[in-house]
Amino acid sequence: MAEQVRSADGTPIAFERSGAGPAVVLVGGAFSDRNATRDLGAALAPDFTAFSYDRRGRGYSGDTAPYEVDREIDDLAALIAAAGGSAAVYGISSGAVLAALATAQGLPVTKLVMFEPPFQVGPHAGVRKDITPQLIELIAADDRDGAVETFLSASVGLPAEQITGMRSQPVWGGLTAVAHTLVYDSIVTAGGRLPADRLATITAPTLAVDSTGSPQWLRDASRAAAEAVPGGRSVSLDGGYHDVPPTTLAPALREFLLG
């Protein structure tokens, strides 16, 4: 059942909790609401109280203009307060970047897990351009289809024919419904720049996870993120593109979070 907290700016943030035990907050990525992390929360529930939430502008959460990354960090702070004052935090993709920035800012994060934060490092640096200005223009013009297509092409790397096929599927309506939040994801990820200076300030034990089925640039990003955090660790798990099944991911998280 959905509950609600108020962020520092008054924005309502919807969440649900499952299980019993130490708190872990699950932060979704682009196009995601709390449904995206529900299965992982259920897999963790025997040992943890898992909190899945709708990031601002999505699902049943509110939104307050103008968007600022610090407002999203405040949202996470409100959830951690609702969880008892401290919590482990797991984030995927842009949610991993948000979780890392929040931890670096000093939120009471007991342990941090980043799943494939979309940084561009090494030979991949600069390959994907910062599309934030373009997304802002498209959303301002209410071109939600164009914003989704731009993000899927430039950020995700899907070929044009696959995107064309998706436009005729029911899933497209769900993607366009949250198209405005792609601007938020793009701002959080800052064009793929690795914020090594901020990651270096993290003192919470940190694990970065990548999937064996993901492209090399994402796998390299996870390892670079772990290396930027003092004492950070990385692990590769069997999975698909930017995804590891909860049945595989949950045991690895359990070992790290309870270790």
Do 237 and 165 share a structural domain?
A: no
**Number of neighbours of residue 70 by Cβ within 10 angstroms:** 13
Specify the pLDDT at position 1. Answer: 79
User: How many angstroms separate the most distant Cα atoms in the chain?
Assistant: 50
Specify the pLDDT at position 257. Answer: 98
Specify the pLDDT at position 84. Answer: 97
Q: Which domain holds residue 105?
A: 3-124+192-258
Specify the pLDDT at position 127. Answer: 84
Q: What is the CATH number of the domain that holds 45?
A: 3.40.50.1820
Q: How many domains does the chain have?
A: 2
**How far is residue 70 CA from its own chain's centroid?**
15
Specify the pLDDT at position 66. Answer: 97
187 residue type, one letter? I
Do 33 and 104 share a structural domain?
A: yes
**Model confidence over 161-177: pLDDT tens digits?**
999 999 999 999 999 99
Please name the helix (run of DSSP H) or strand (run of DSSP E) that holds residue 257, with its range, or none: helix 246-258
Do 99 and 16 share a structural domain?
A: yes
Using 70 as the pLDDT threshold, list the residues of the chain that sit under it.
Answer: none
Last residue of a domain, one of 169, 185, 201: 185
Task: Give the pair of three-digit tokens for residue 8.
Answer: 């520092």
Task: Give the pair of three-digit tokens for residue 31.
Answer: 């196009």
Q: Return the beta strands (E) in the chain as ranges.
A: 3-6, 12-19, 23-27, 49-53, 87-92, 109-115, 206-211, 233-237
